[in-house]
Amino acid sequence: MIPPQEASVRRREIEDKLKQVSILSSFESRLMKLENSIIPVHKQTENLQRLQENVEKTLSCLDHVISYYHVASDTEKIIREGPTGRLEEYLGSMAKIQKAVEYFQDNSPDSPELNKVKLLFERGKEALESEFRSLMTRHSKVVSPVLILDLISGDDDLEAQEDVALEHLPESVLQDVIRISRWLVEYGRNQDFMNVYYQIRSSQLDRSIKGLKEHFHKSSSSSGVPYSPAIPNKRKDTPTKKPVKRPGRDDMLDVETDAYIHCVSAFVKLAQSEYQLLADIIPEHHQKKTFDSLIQDALDGLMLEGENIVSAARKAIVRHDFSTVLTVFPILRHLKQTKPEFDQVLQGTAASTKNKLPGLITSMETIGAKALEDFADNIKNDPDKEYNMPKDGTVHELTSNAILFLQQLLDFQETAGAMLASQETSSSATSYSSEFSKRLLSTYICKVLGNLQLNLLSKSKVYEDPALSAIFLHNNYNYILKSLEKSELIQLVAVTQKTAERSYREHIEQQIQTYQRSWLKVTDYIAEKNLPVFQPGVKLRDKERQIIKERFKGFNDGLEELCKIQKAWAIPDTEQRDRIRQAQKTIVKETYGAFLQKFGSVPFTKNPEKYIKYGVEQVGDMIDRLFDTSA
């Protein structure tokens, strides 16, 4: 049994716990009542907030919508005044108009406001197109000839090239043009400005190249010599010395050639520069087509001029004016050297554009090969006109012209070789090597020299005197050999004819011997084999005296006649002239000296001075005056 005291304590504990339970229950009940009263208020507050937000959004939308109705009046003044000098502000207004157009199209397609903003947009777009044209027209300038020449000559020095830059448009203008271009593509849905662009730039490119050509003509007419910096091509086909100019050749031909070569280089440089400018302004997928259109006028002008050169060469061939035809050679060489750059510049253009230069090169190669062929035939068939033959047996004009032509070909070895190779039908010609074309050129030169030799032989028969004929052939052969040796022609000839030099020397010696035979009729009179034999101290018979008189007279008359005739003949080569005189002098003096020694003191006549007219030294002096019209 629990003691009463302990039971009392337990009871109090239980009563305390029950009190706590009662308090908690009461608190929970009050919490529930509070919650039930607050939740509706909270919900009501949320609804009110939502309503307020909707009202604000509606008001904002209304403001936005109303703003579209004000766009026309807000922007009209700016659009009317145009974009000049305030492009950014203008484009900002155009953006507002664009958005208003889009709003009315979506929400109120029948409203008069749509027509108003659409009309304003079109007017603004036209003003931007007009500004584009105006900026391009006002600021596109022709490139000066001096600047173009600096640009071209920059190739010689790669570092210098960096310094020569063309500024087609001032930077601020360029940026405006680019902004307008991008806007017209993106928002204007318009490509007409690209046509405007290429037409303006095409005109400037064409005028720049024509200006360069005029510069050459003006410079040549004022000073007689065109301003002509070195053509920028340091390749092995470039001449190391200026070609010998044929006497009487028109200087204007050289000016035309020089001008054309520089215009070709100018086109490449200016076209490259045009593409760089165009790449900033024209959208990428329109660049190639716009560039193709832009360069057509300038390119067609160059090609037409090239074809005119071909046509002039064709007419010159008919006239046998091969000096004029030579203008094709430096031009063709330059076109072939420039072709890789040309091809690079014309990448992406139409096939018809790309094929223009190769077509001109083919025309020039064909006409050049025709000129070479006709020149060789002309050398072979040049007629033997008696009035055209040099009376003094000197070098014939045909010989000097032929050698001059061949020497000029030296400056264009690769070009001439390629011309000949281009006409070959053999399979090797399609991919001919420089060695192949060199052999062709060597064969051609040997053919010309062979034709020349045959013609000279034929011409030499015009002379009635075989000695003059020999002097003529000697002079011409000697001139050919010396000319070959002075230039690289001898090396070219040796490619296919190793013995050519020796052969010419033999021909020259042969003609000297033929000439020397002309003196036999003089020396035969006094040659020992034809003299009478008599005993010293024995009186001469009449017949013997007569023979000695005839021998002296024959020698004297022959000597005088030959000296008179041959004094008017010419041997231009001093060395050869002295050599031939000396050889002849030695033979005649020795023969005459022996004769004089034998008969000079013999009493064959009462008037010895009548027969012994010349001393040995006098005879030598007379021979020394041969081939000398001034003596």
- Per residue in 137-183, pLDDT tens? 999 999 999 999 999 886 554 444 455 568 889 999 999 999 999 99
Give the model's confidence band at 229: pLDDT under 50 very low, under 70 low, under 90 confident, else very high. very low
Measured CA angle at 142 (ends 310, 288), to 5 deg? 70
pLDDT reading at 589 higher than 90? yes
Query: Where does residue 546 fall: left (phi above 0), alpha (psi -120 to 50 degrees), or beta otherwise?
Result: alpha
List, as own/partner pairs, every contact residues 561-568 make where C-beta atoms lie below 8 angstroms and the sequence separation is at least 24, other chains included: 562/518, 562/519, 562/522, 563/622, 563/623, 563/625, 563/626, 565/465, 566/467, 566/518, 566/626, 566/627, 567/625, 567/626, 567/627, 567/628, 567/629, 567/631, 568/391, 568/392, 568/629
Radius of gyration of the chain (CA): 52
- Between 24 and 196, the higher pLDDT residue: 196
Task: Say whether 573 sits in a helix, a strand or coil.
Answer: coil
Q: What is the mean pLDDT of residues 608-629?
A: 92
- Between 289 and 7, the higher pLDDT residue: 289
pLDDT digits (tens, 9 = 90+) for 74-89: 889 999 999 999 999 9
User: And the tokens for 79?
Assistant: 């659009």
**pLDDT of 243:** 37
CA distances from 124 to 95, 353, 428 (A): 11, 37, 65
Neighbours of 399 (CB within 10 A): 22
Q: What is the mean pLDDT of residues 459-485?
A: 96
Measured CA angle at 530 (ends 529, 533), to 5 deg? 85
**Contact present, 472 and 392 (Cβ < 8 Å):** no
Residue carrying the six token digits 């070009």 = 415
User: And the tokens for 295?
Assistant: 């360069």
**C-alpha–C-alpha distance, residues 188 and 76, integer Å:** 18
Task: Say whether 385 sits in a helix, a strand or coil.
Answer: coil
Q: Identify the CA nearest to 522 among candidates 473, 494, 491, 556.
A: 556
**pLDDT of 56:** 59
pLDDT reading at 108 higher than 60? yes
Residue carrying the six token digits 């100019």 = 245
**pLDDT of 266:** 96
Neighbours of 123 (CB within 10 A): 15
**Contact present, 162 and 107 (Cβ < 8 Å):** no
pLDDT digits (tens, 9 = 90+) for 329-373: 999 999 999 999 999 999 989 999 999 999 999 999 999 999 999
- Between 60 and 473, the higher pLDDT residue: 473
Neighbours of 122 (CB within 10 A): 13
pLDDT reading at 132 higher than 90? yes
CA distances from 373 to 165, 370, 527 (A): 46, 5, 53
Give the largest Cα separation in the chain, rounded. 219
- Tally the C-alpha atoms within 13 A of residue 529's C-alpha that lie toward its C-beta: 3
CA distances from 620 to 521, 558, 611, 617 (A): 17, 14, 18, 5
User: And the tokens for 615?
Assistant: 């001393």
**C-alpha–C-alpha distance, residues 99 and 104, integer Å:** 9
**C-alpha–C-alpha distance, residues 590 and 528, integer Å:** 11
**C-alpha–C-alpha distance, residues 460 and 456, integer Å:** 6
**Contact present, 556 and 613 (Cβ < 8 Å):** yes
**C-alpha–C-alpha distance, residues 511 and 466, integer Å:** 10
Q: What is the mean pLDDT of residues 563-592?
A: 95
**C-alpha–C-alpha distance, residues 479 and 449, integer Å:** 12
Give the model's confidence band at 549: pLDDT under 50 very low, under 70 low, under 90 confident, else very high. very high
Give the model's confidence band at 228: pLDDT under 50 very low, under 70 low, under 90 confident, else very high. very low
Annotate 542-569 with b (16+ C-beta within 10 A) or e (fewer).
eebbebbbebbebbbebbeebbeebbeb
When mean pLDDT is compared over 250-259, 305-314, 531-540, the highest value belongs to 305-314
**pLDDT of 251:** 60
**C-alpha–C-alpha distance, residues 34 and 28, integer Å:** 10
pLDDT reading at 493 higher than 90? yes
Q: What is the mean pLDDT of residues 391-413?
A: 93
pLDDT reading at 43 higher than 90? no
CA dihedral 35, 40, 41, 45 (to 10 degrees): 130
Measured CA angle at 417 (ends 412, 418), to 5 deg? 100
pLDDT reading at 52 higher than 80? no
Give the model's confidence band at 490: pLDDT under 50 very low, under 70 low, under 90 confident, else very high. very high
Q: Identify the CA nearest to 262 among candidates 231, 238, 233.
A: 231
| Residues constituting the chain | 631
**pLDDT of 315:** 95
**C-alpha–C-alpha distance, residues 561 and 53, integer Å:** 138
pLDDT digits (tens, 9 = 90+) for 262-303: 999 999 999 999 999 999 999 999 999 999 999 999 999 999
Per-residue 3-state assignment (H helix, E strand, C coil) for 461-477:
CCCCCHHHHHHHHHHHH
Residues 6 or more apart whose CB falls under 8 angstroms from that of 338 comprise 264, 265, 268
**Contact present, 418 and 369 (Cβ < 8 Å):** no
User: And the tokens for 429?
Assistant: 């010609």
Lowest mean pLDDT segment, chosen from 91-95, 186-190, 567-571: 186-190
Residue carrying the six token digits 């500024």 = 167
**C-alpha–C-alpha distance, residues 342 and 91, integer Å:** 40
Average pLDDT, the chain: 86
- Between 554 and 162, the higher pLDDT residue: 554
* 8-state DSSP, 517: G
**Contact present, 200 and 296 (Cβ < 8 Å):** no
Lowest mean pLDDT segment, chosen from 3-7, 106-110, 347-351: 3-7
**pLDDT of 376:** 96
